[in-house]
Amino acid sequence: MTTTPDQQLDFLLTTALKMGATAAEVILASGSSTSVTIRNGTTERIERSDSQDVGLRVFIGQQVASASSTDVRPDALKALVERTVAMARVAPEDPYAVMATPAQLAKNAPDLDLNDPASLDAKALLALATEAEDAARAVSGISNSDGADASHSRSRVLLRGSNGLNYSAEHTDSGFSVCVLAGSGTGMERDYDYASAVYAGDLPPADAIGRNAGEQTVARLNPRRVATGHYPVIFAPRVAASLLRSFLSAINGSSIARGTSFLKDSLHKPVFGSSITIFEDPHRLRGQRSRPLDAEGLPTTAQKLIDGGILQDWLLDLSTAKRLGLQSNGHAVRGMASPPSPSASNVY
């Protein structure tokens, strides 16, 4: 018998509670994606995939277990509940395991325009990849191509909890990349460029991305040493982004709670120059990491992580906030078979 996603979620929750769970939450994700690869103008790969995954987390007091499955038939769902409840019964107690209370749950989820009604089929993706690669190969000095890729995906996520959490969202993502080589022999260099967006119509022109990839690659040829000295430094966007990723990892509540972050004693202290302010905006329209609420159902808000060089807050979910004696600030994300953990959204 075919069941709907809502029926599958309800079945998992009610069955888990009947089997002795004191609380439970379910996540169901489904999606489809199409991707293509070309190299030197020849199509090398066209793939289409469809997926459906379900994850269950159950509480028996402070004992917690999580499990997931790609089989959503009724018998398989029942087996998933039985397996997860059995795991929870033998799990050690976790004093920091917690679900949101009904009062903590977001009351309204803003519409962030994350679902592009248009889709890119294989033909359109091949055209994007071809245009990008052709533009890259046309740059003087380019000697070969490592290929160009393009993809389009659409996903739907449903969250349901015994605490009253009930949320669903759809998200699209489109993008392409190209990688080329310049020079020959031991003097060859390689570089790339890429673009991605929630809406395919927001992607930059493919030929511009390809041309940039080619120019960046050629610019790598014949490197030279500079004399030792003091120089002004401009970080390329990729390097600047890696610095931000390191910073975000250092203020992750999990690292702070374990005491493994070099910034664990730096809250409300200067960690950047006074000219630096770092914003996080989970409500950016069409933002690739935008989220109306977090994976535990708590509201998300825009904030300054760094204000005038001073660290303002950690990235917290409910568990890490409890460990630190603080309140969650809505940064929980989660996978199918893993408990929630903190993560940032759109940062700039």
- The pLDDT score that the predictor gives to residue 105 is 97
> Over the chain, what is the mean pLDDT?
96
Judge whether residue 1 has pLDDT over 70. Answer: no
Closest CA to 192 of 139, 151, 232: 139
Sorted by sequence, the CB contacts under 8 Å of residue 103 that are 6+ apart come out as none
Determine how many CB atoms are found less than 10 A away from the CB of residue 140: 8
Judge whether residue 243 has pLDDT over 60. Answer: yes
Phi, psi (deg, nearest 5) at residue 290? -70, 150
**Average pLDDT, stretch 283-287?**
97
Given 3-state DSSP classes, what are the helix, strand and coil percentages for the chain, each rounded to the nearest 5?
Answer: 25, 30, 40
**Average pLDDT, stretch 79-104?**
97
What separation, in Å, do the N-terminal and C-terminal C-alpha atoms of the chain show? 48
- The pLDDT score that the predictor gives to residue 274 is 97
Q: Please state the pTM of the whole predicted model.
A: 0.90
Share of the chain above pLDDT 90, in %: 93
Sorted by sequence, the CB contacts under 8 Å of residue 131 that are 6+ apart come out as 206, 207, 210
Cα–Cα distance, 126 to 210 (Å, whole number): 14
Judge whether residue 324 has pLDDT over 90. Answer: yes
For 44, how many CA atoms within 13 A lie in the half-sphere containing its CB?
A: 13
- The pLDDT score that the predictor gives to residue 143 is 96
Cα–Cα distance, 50 to 37 (Å, whole number): 18
Cα–Cα distance, 125 to 35 (Å, whole number): 7
Task: Give pLDDT tens digits for 146-198.
Answer: 999 999 999 999 999 999 999 999 999 999 999 999 998 888 999 999 999 99
- The pLDDT score that the predictor gives to residue 3 is 81
133 token code pair? 């690669």
- The pLDDT score that the predictor gives to residue 2 is 60
Task: Give pLDDT tens digits for 17-62.
Answer: 999 999 999 999 999 999 999 999 999 999 999 999 999 999 999 9
Using a 10 angstrom Cβ sphere, with 0-12 exposed, 13-18 middle and 19 or more buried, the burial of residue 191 is buried
Closest CA to 210 of 238, 178, 182: 178
Cα–Cα distance, 193 to 134 (Å, whole number): 13
Q: What is the DSSP letter of 196?
A: E
* CA 14 to each of CA 30, 160, 336: distance values in angstroms, whole numbers, following the listed order: 21, 11, 19
Q: What per-residue string of b and e applies to 263-301 under the rule 16 or more CB within 10 Å gives b?
A: beeebeeebeeeeeebebbbbbebbeebbbbbbbbbbbe
